Amino acid sequence: MTARMKIAILDDYQNVATSFADWDTLDAETVVFTQPFADTDEVVRRLAGFDVLVAMRERTPFPAGVLARLTNLRLLVSTGPANAAIDVKAARDLGITVCGTGYFSHPTAEHTWALILGAARNLLDEASSMRTGGWQVSIGTGLHGKTLGLLGLGGLGTQVAHIGRAFGMTPIAWSQNLSAEKAAEQGVRAVTKEQLFAQSDVLSIHLVLSNRTRGLVGAADLRSMKPTAILVNTSRGPIIDEDALFETLREGRIHRAAIDVFDTEPLPGGHRLRSLPNALLTGHVAYVTRELYETFYQDAVEDIAAFRAGAPLRLME
């Protein structure tokens, strides 16, 4: 390793990483990249020569082919405890250490409810009307007494369910491995996938993206939803068939979709989803809070210092 480490902080879209941790303690050359890379060739070209990379979640993929071309790379730190976009085995085979950071999920649960409430009460339309001199322009949808559907009942889905009950909603859930007993422990009723889509007034997705969940929500599922239903996704875009989602919204088959995650990120400026009046969109910000960024970047600095001292922390497997 070079006498003075070269560190790249990746995908810092808002250029805030250096304000959340004391990078100067590392006495290293630190470069911040605020824009996403166009392709793998640009990743390799721009990151050649760096000893350490700090990746923000899954914004930049690191498959085996890319890692093999980054011949100076010795440490790859990812925010969060796991990263499906990093080939950890390939990194290990290449002698690259991969470390994670701390994480907590309640910011995503909070943003899920921001989207639910924003969609139900037409907040974007109402705020736009007020900003342009108008007044009431819509009629909202109440949540009390309605059915909250959860596609996935892990830690995050459970948090969303608990908040739903505080609003007077009845939570139901389905996932491939969910049992009636496990659901009942959280005060949730387990249903079939078909029942979940047909009965939910609000349906919120809380699954990890995998081969089993990619494209799990298809055209038939969306067609079976109530025309008054709201679909929310703060998990991963490819869980929903994007073509089917667009057609469902374009045809007005459901009331609204509130979406924070997309197949391609950042979402291209002219993307067709941006044009839909019944799509409430945010740019994968569900986890983006001051508190979580402090955890991410302070732990990243700690990981780098520990690696340099020969005792790496939070190793990814």
The set of catalytic residues is 236, 265, 284
Neighbouring-strand partners of residue 97: 75
- Reduce the secondary structure of 11-43 to three states and give it as a string: CCCCCCHHHCCCHHHHCCEEEECCCCCCCHHHH
Count Cβ atoms below 10 Å from residue 250 Cβ, excluding itself. 14
What the block records as the tokens of 288 is 């983006």
Write out the chain in H/E/C secondary structure: CCCCCEEEECCCCCCCHHHCCCHHHHCCEEEECCCCCCCHHHHHHHHCCCCEEEECCCCCCECHHHHHHCCCCCEEEECCCCCCCECHHHHHHCCCEEECCCCCCHHHHHHHHHHHHHHHCCHHHHHHHHHCCCCCCCCCCCCCCCEEEEECCCHHHHHHHHHHHHCCCEEEEECCCCCHHHHHHCCCEECCHHHHHHHCCEEEECCCCCCCCCCCECHHHHHCCCCCCEEEECCCHHHECHHHHHHHHHCCCCCEEEECCCCCCCCCCCCHHHHCCCEEECCCCCCCCHHHHHHHHHHHHHHHHHHHCCCCCCECC
